[in-house]
Chain A
Amino acid sequence: MSSRRSAPTEEKREKRHTISILVENKFGAFNRIAGLFAAKGYNIDSMSVGPTEDEEISRMTVVTRGDDQIIEQITKQLNKLIDTIKVVDLTFDSFVERELVLAKVSSTPETRPEIMQIAEIFRAKVVDISPRTLTLEATGSQQKVDAIIKMLKPFTIRELARTGRVALKREFQGEV
């Protein structure tokens, strides 16, 4: 009975979770949430924040990792913050997620067509061009964004900016 108090092994496995948080759009609210993750030592893979349809409310999307007990604590601690209105762990639902990336890639007249071909395959847009660079904008799931970055790497990525994930729960579309 030595491990009576800890969770079973399956629950101990670390998993990636996407947590959507609605917070009061108030001075310091973002700080409280970021500070909570730092103070408690929780992982943050990405964190994004922006306004919602209601100007008094912001939505934060946090991608974090942890076993079941840690994720439970994270959601509880988030709920405990006074400015937090709602916390949803989207991982248990069907949800749409998107991330945007801007990648400034080195390009020569020789490599330019190839890079543009890759952009086309990923439905990315060329948003800036110079004699030595191409800047692409791509959106998609995290896997898609990872994939285009991987494809662009051989051409040398000079600068990269990712937004982190934003997500919304899918709605039920009715019986088929």
Chain B
Amino acid sequence: MPSDKGSSGHGGQHFGKVMTGAEIFVRSLIEEEVEVVFGYPGGATIGVYDALHDISNIKHVLTRHEQGATHAAEGYAKATGKPGVALVTSGPGATNTVTGIADAFMDSIPLVVFTGQVPLRLIGNDAFQEADIVGITRPITKHNYLVRDVKELAKTIKEAFFLATSGRPGPVLVDLPKDVMAQKTKFEYPREATVRSYAPTVDGHQKQIKKAAEVINTAIRPVLYVGGGTILSDAAGELTAFARHLRCPVTTTLHGLGAFPETDPLSMGMLGMHGTWYSNMAVNYCDVLIAVGARFDDRVTGDVERFAPEAKVIHIDIDPAAISKNVQVDVPIVGDVKRVLSRLTEHVTPLDTADWLATIEQWKREHPLRYRTGEKIRAQHVIHKLGELTGGDAIVVTDVGQHQMWAAQFFNFAHPRTHITSGGLGTMGFSLPAAMGAAFGRADLPVVSISGDGGFQMNAQELTTIVEHRLPVKILVINNGFLGMVRQWQELFWRRRYSHVELANPDFVKLAEAHGCPGIKVTRADEVEDALRRALERKDGPVLLEFVVEKEDNVYPMVPAGQSVHEMIDTPEPVEERQAGSVPIMTLEKGNNVQQRSTNTEHTPVTANVQQT
């Protein structure tokens, strides 16, 4: 059977036919090879939904809330690299997408959001279910459109997909008035979008690349600081080759996780507020910092004045506005990471970093990521075990808060597009719908949603959608009965005044069962592995695991907000347990195997025994 897809293929048979705006909309999505649309119908989109009714090659997923639709589209986009598509109605349907759009804007996720709108003649009249969504989303979209004429529709959709996916990707919104969608015109879908004045620079400037190579070739203590732009550019392979060729240690941002295998000895894991002790130290003492598709976010730099104080900074980014926004850089290269890195690799020679790597190894041994184990479950242990059981071959979709940081620290990401989270906006309630979107896009890998008890309840309604589609999402609820990260800050910086952070929760297992999803409650550390195994084995539908964990545990290391590595708090030594000498501590060094050590191991504080040049 020939498919009804492809801009150069069978779509052509519809070109020249007179159709309604609604039919043109559907045909245009087919031309864009859209496979899945996450949406929710309403009065203003009823015509569009009518046109969608007979189309078999676009799967429409009816989410239970429009916010869920946008996060699902984000998860789909992050997991597949293709644009995510959402379709909602006017007014409240449109305003419910705002959080998802803002999230996609902060994290550069290609999204095309179609919103219904009241008929043109009613716009501005405070009509039923009217909202100025173009005005509302102007500062949180890469671009947005109100389609005023059906003749503009196909061209606008083409442009929307082009803008969302090219350059620095981002969300684009197209507002569709009801009457425009009922008007008729000849359908022609443009082959290419042409947007005057929009031409992202993809090839880095040759002169800048050479300049960067000169700086790199003299480096003694280089560090690669890798961000999400590397994954967006599909450049994980180039980055890995570059780092190994250079023998340069690598640290990634939250969104950079997966761009470089954390099992590689050159990996230092994540940097920043809750990054590894050694990655932050390495950045502090490095003489050349190569920032790749990263944006010097405040959660990474802390006090910018004291960030990488010794280093010459090279910054590769496709967005000129990201350069010298937060941190003055020495050699900027505007371009696509994939292309720039492969050209840069030709100009750099392997460095003698043996001494530097040895220093980092020592830091790794002395300040590994670690957590205590005991009878009670630690969230870190759950994630650590999940990483071991899957060997990194899973898509992990996290929410926001403590579990998010622990997942970043302890899963050990090995592949691009396997770590999906809300980094920039920090949207609680992201994980469950985003995991659903990822599961629609990637049937080849297990998809694991990890949320806290707070975040899970923010979009729990999407459990219905997941069950309806029998998606094998493993839903992990890390239940500590607290809004843990806020509680941690209150404990550390607000004199333990726990203001409104304790949560009264439903019975999560019963809640899952009410949705038709099996639920397992896990309360003992020695049950964790077995529960995870059972969840991973289930292929024909979701399963919810509730882990009742230590109520008051903290994420370490921690660089307090706005401070520098000099104020970094490493994981405190468990004094009472050291005396007992019996409770084992699990440790994890990035680029090394898991070790178990007893608590009475001596710790020698590392002084900055780095050669200063």
A residues with a Cβ closer than 8 A to B are 1-7, 24, 27-28, 31-32, 35-36, 39, 69, 72-73, 76-77, 79-80, 82-86
Contacts and interface: CB of A to CB of B under 8 A. Distances in A.
Interface in B191-222: 195-198
28 contacts: A2-B306, A2-B309, A3-B305, A4-B305, A4-B309, A5-B304, A5-B307, A5-B309, A7-B328, A28-B135, A28-B138, A31-B135, A31-B138, A32-B138, A35-B139, A36-B139, A39-B139, A69-B324, A69-B328, A73-B321, A73-B325, A76-B323, A77-B321, A79-B320, A80-B319, A82-B142, A84-B197, A85-B197
B196 A27 contact: no
Contacts of A27: 146, 148
Interface in B309-349: 309-310, 319-321, 323-325, 327-328
Nearest to B323: A76
B163 interface: yes
Interface centre among A6, A69, A76, A84 (most CB of B within 10 A): A76
A136 B90 CA distance: 49
B310 A76 contact: no
Contacts of B142: 82
B143 interface: yes
Q: Classify the secondary structure of B's interface with A.
A: loop
B327 A5 contact: yes
A32 B196 CA distance: 17
B134 interface: yes
Nearest to B326: A5
A72 B324 contact: yes
A28 B135 CA distance: 8
B215 to A, nearest CB: 16
A86 B138 contact: no
Given A2-B306, A76-B320, A85 B196 contact: yes
A1 B309 contact: yes
Contact of A82 (B146, B198, B304): B198
A125 B134 CA distance: 43
B320 A6 contact: no
A3 B327 CA distance: 11
B402 to A, nearest CB: 30
Nearest to B327: A5
A5 B306 CA distance: 7
A83 B196 CA distance: 8
A77 B321 CA distance: 6
Nearest to A56: B196
Nearest to B134: A28
A39 B324 CA distance: 19
A82 B321 contact: no
A83 B144 CA distance: 10
Given A1-B309, A27-B146, A86-B197, A80 B321 contact: yes
A145 B568 CA distance: 56
A72 B329 CA distance: 13
A2 B305 contact: yes
A27 B135 CA distance: 11
Contacts of A77: 321
A24 B138 contact: no
A1 B196 contact: no
Nearest to B304: A5
Given A1-B310, A2-B305, A24 B196 contact: yes
B429 to A, nearest CB: 24
Contacts of A85: 196-197
A73 B322 CA distance: 9
B304 to A, nearest CB: 5
Given A4-B306, A24-B196, A80-B320, 8 more contacts: A2-B309, A5-B304, A6-B328, A32-B138, A73-B325, A82-B142, A82-B198, A84-B197
Nearest to A23: B197
A69 to B, nearest CB: 7
Nearest to A11: B328
Interface in B153-200: 163, 195-198
A83 B195 CA distance: 9
Contacts of A84: 197
A25 to B, nearest CB: 12
Closest A-B pairs by Cβ, 7 of them: A76-B321, A85-B197, A82-B143, A1-B309, A4-B309, A39-B139, A5-B304
A94 to B, nearest CB: 25
Interface string B123-137: 000000000001100
A88 to B, nearest CB: 13
Given A28-B134, A82-B143, A5 B197 contact: no
Contacts of B134: 28
Interface centre among B143, B195, B309, B321 (most CB of A within 10 A): B321
A38 to B, nearest CB: 9
A23 to B, nearest CB: 9
A35 B138 contact: yes
A95 to B, nearest CB: 22
B465 to A, nearest CB: 33
A33 to B, nearest CB: 11
A169 to B, nearest CB: 18
A24 B195 CA distance: 11
Nearest to A2: B305
A84 B196 CA distance: 9
Nearest to B325: A73
Contacts of B305: 2-6
Interface string B207-241: 00000000000000000000000000000000000
Contacts of B307: 5
Interface in B98-149: 134-135, 138-139, 142-143, 146, 148
Contacts of B197: 24, 82-86
Interface in B532-585: none
Contacts of A82: 142-143, 163, 195, 197-198
Contacts of B135: 28, 31
Nearest to A57: B196
Contacts of A39: 139
B298 to A, nearest CB: 13
Contacts of A31: 135, 138
B186 to A, nearest CB: 24
Contacts of B148: 27
Contacts of A3: 305
Contacts of B320: 76, 79-80
Contacts of B310: 1
Contacts of A1: 309-310
Contacts of A24: 196-197
Contacts of A6: 304-305, 328
B242 to A, nearest CB: 25
Nearest to B139: A39
Nearest to B313: A5
Contacts of B328: 5-7, 69
Contacts of A83: 143, 197
B172 to A, nearest CB: 9
